[in-house]
Structure 1
Amino acid sequence: MNFATRLNNVETSAIRELFKLLGKPGIISFAGGFPDSAMFDVEGLKEAANKALTEEPGGALQYGATEGYEPLRTQLAAFMQSKGVKDIEPQGLIVTTGSQQALDLLGKTMISPGDKVIVEAPTFLATIQCFRLYGAELITAPVDANGVQTDKLEQLIAEHKPKFVYLIPTFGNPSGAMLSRERRMKVLEMAVKHQTLIVEDDPYGDLYFGEPPPPSILALSSQVPGSREWIAHCGSMSKVLSPGLRVGWLIGPPELLAKATMCKQFSDAHTSTFAQATAAQYLKSGRMPATLAKVRKVYAERAQAMGAALKKELGDAIEFTQPQGGLFFWARLTGAGGKLKDAGEFAKRAIEKGVAFVPGAPFYANDPDLSTLRLSFATADVAKIEEGVGRLGKALAGPQVE
């Protein structure tokens, strides 16, 4: 068949391909970016679904507005207000089918073939694929433990004049990094100075383990005059409530939301009204704070266990920053003691030992660091984490392969 040439720029997800190898009995997986299904508030969602069907069955089961189910937009605006976005109105956001659709809509509305887009190195794999599908030339900005390096980012903006900059500032996937408040303010200042759209993707910001992270870039925009019109913000219920609901949202300047709504009409008409009505009832019920508190506690324990186990089992052969939230460890093999430094080879050996993770290379749009890897602690309990990391230690024990 004569497929569209845009498909020449993308390939299937390396992570999805890896899942095909995970059928081996007894394997412990640190590979997925999933929340733990045991954390889902099933009773609360069941009650919310029943209320949606009882109180407004027509709204829950009929076609709906492309912009989103109005009661949900109202609840989401209140949710964002609780996180410091004081001036948000229901009309200031559209509901998307997961935040992944928000990214796709940004690609459709903003990217023409050959346009430059700046992303972090590393960044969310699906974003790389999505933006390349629309013909973007991806420019990468380096990340350290405090998020994107804003001095380098500003140099890249000045040099390349991108259509937009895409950031995951809070517990990024895969880096786990948290952009400092100081750097968030610098991002806002450079958005105004260079008249450049900043896309803030924030699916993990509520999953903090100790002190809350700094306010979102969107929330801080009120402190930098003129910056709000240069910010688009993607949110999601997937990591905090349920991925199966496929409920996300996009906040942005009115003209951007209008174009995104038009493209969404062509794509899926609207996000499932039943899912939206269920999410609206859940947020209205007031159960979310307790759900988040439980999830944070469990993930914090697992992250602590994984960090301790990595230090114990792999020692100086691996380096990482202990995450302060989110779902991931981002680590680098050092090659110390003659041990493996190639994460791709390490992944193969790990599978043989009955444990899986994702090598870091696919998360780089350009110039991948082959010694990096991503480990998720979300879906394994403490005992499984300790056993799995023990297996990683055995897998890494062999000599470096030249």
Structure 2
Amino acid sequence: MGRGGGMCSKVGGRENPAIAAWGVSAALLAAVSMTLFLLSEATQLKDSAGKGLEPEEYGEVMFVSRATFLGLGSLHAILCIASLLVTILGYFFWSQFLCFACPLVIINEISCLITASFGGYMLNNVYNYRASQVDIARGGGVTPAVDFSLSFADAHASLILLFSVASLAAMGPLSRAATIDEKGTMVDVMLHMPVITGCIGTSALFLFPSHDSFYAAAGAVWLLLAAAAAILAAFQKWGGLATRIFTLLLAVFYLFVFIFSAVSILVAGKHFLGGRQQVIDYVRTSAALKPAFLRNMDQDKFSLYKNYIIQNEGNFNLAAVILSSLLLVYSFMGALFSLRAVLGGEDALRRDLSSDSSNKD
């Protein structure tokens, strides 16, 4: 758990970079909690705050109720406050409070995984609903009525994606808070951790809203990149020749992230612009000719149109472009730092060694 001589031992006090990791995770947990509380006030929900739904009263999308969102929101709010208390008391006052950090990390990660899975489940239903709506519109059929749960998920897809991405991304800084020790540097939490968190968040952005092959593949790659970043960042602290080898591998890794970020930006941006143009052309068509307009689209144009609708009128694609752009910058800086660390040796990677080097000067 990154505690040097033991789980409850002194870990560097207020200078420990793990404080930043705890702070970022608490901020993400707060965002998740507030979003869930906002969703609990949606007019589509049938139950009241004091009485939940019976199992047979759930709609097509299970567990969509005011009680569910209030419960999950309260859980993440409590865990956020607990994380802040353990961090402040443990790092600034008495290190024995850090004994609670280990179970707190585990509980946080389990709750985040449950919340992200619930959000992904709702977004999967939204994808199926929107895809069928577009296909029916192209065929000229009549769209069936939807129940309250699917109507809720469709109307609030952006907020559902927000808490899903944030809860999954929070697992990045939580894992770093559990592993960074007192000899770590701020590079661990200002460079490596944002990349890990960003990779997880971008993975969720690609995986949750769509079933298309590119989005599924891109999401899987981003998730693998997050795992690779965590492994390489940990192994480069081994010391000696291993440090230089893994730091060089980290530089190569960041270069790959840079390239894949550019690819993600280009493809998601192309889908947004192409789909937007098809929607503009569709809107400009008279109502009587709209079914024929959709039927006469070639498959590529129709796929762009359909993707635009599924991606919340392109907004999810824009979010993927923004997050990929951030990773583009971070990966560029990460590659430069890693190359500098290879040339500069271990003093560029560990606070205790870099301090000794500075004192020699």
TM-score, normalization: structure 1? 0.24
Which structure would you say has the larger Rg? 2
Q: Answer 1 or 2: higher relative contact order, Cα 8 Å, separation at least 6.
A: 1
TM-score, normalization: structure 2? 0.26
Give the helix-richer structure, 1 or 2: 2
